[in-house]
Amino acid sequence: MNVEQARFNMIEQQIRPWDVFDGGVLELLAAVRREDFVPAAYRHLAFADLRVPLKSGAQAVALGQVMLEPRVEARLLQDAGVAKHERVLEIGAGSGFMAALLGHRAQRVLTLEIDPELAQTARANLQRAGALNVEVRQADGASADLSGDGPFDVIVLSGSVAQVPQRLLALLKTGGRLIGIAGQEPVMRMSLTQRTGEDTWAETQPWDCDAPRLQGFSEPARFHF
């Protein structure tokens, strides 16, 4: 496989058609080696338009332990609009690829991963990539005490939730925003929520997208007759 041609094709054939036009994002996707964050067994899928398992076996996919499609990662990165002075929290480190991208655009990134093995893998991948401003922490993003780490300018959910968690919104600075995919199959949308005041938020849902669930976050109660 011609890696650089495959990377070029990923950007031009998958990512640009998904309304990713930010030149800085496109340059970053060309520079950060996605293949270095993909497990060796799946490296041939590094630039494919699909979710890449982060562990062997069907259980990883069932648990949502995957890298999201490149076009989804790129669109989330673009719409988050991270600036160099900002502090970012990511929920769902996975292999560390999104954290590496965020690290290039932010002042500092804290990324949480509930699975100990994946947290270790992400840490090693980011260290090899020279992402010195990214910290990987093994923790459950749904319940971890982050009061000593916030407030954050940006929170990125690298997976879906049934509804945007209020406890995470409370970690935003005024003017800060949370971006992630919310809803129930078959209808999910990218949700961008900005904190506009002490107890006020503004939400937009500009595009449809589905993604595996982040582990640990609650589902709405189902009604039974």
Give pLDDT tens digits for 89-143. Answer: 999 999 999 999 999 999 999 999 999 999 999 999 999 999 999 999 999 999 9
155-175 pLDDT per residue, tens: 999 999 999 999 999 999 999
CA atoms within 13 A on the CB side of 125: 26
Q: Is residue 53 part of a domain?
A: yes
The terminus-to-terminus CA distance of the chain in angstroms comes to 56
> Which residue reads 């990539």 in tokens?
129
Q: What is the pLDDT of residues 2-43, one digit of tens each?
A: 999 999 999 999 999 999 999 999 999 999 999 999 999 999
| Number of domains the chain is built from | 1
Asked whether residue 220 is domain-assigned, the answer is no
Asked whether 79 and 154 are in contact (CB, 8 A), the reply is no
Its pTM stands at 0.95
Q: Which domain holds residue 115?
A: 3-208
Beta-carbon contacts of 44 under 8 Å, excluding residues fewer than 6 positions away, are 1
* Residue 223 within any structural domain of the chain: no
Mean pLDDT of all residues belonging to the chain? 94
Which structure tokens are listed for 195? 């904190």
Helix axis angle for 97-105 and 70-80, nearest 10°, is 30
Residue 139 belongs to a domain with what CATH number? 3.40.50.150
Burial 141-158 (b: 16+ CB within 10 A, else e): bbebebeebbbbbbbbbb
Residue 94 lies in a domain: yes
Contacts of 124 (CB under 8 A, 6+ apart): none
Please report whether residue 118 resides in a domain.
yes
Question: Does 222 reside within a domain?
Answer: no
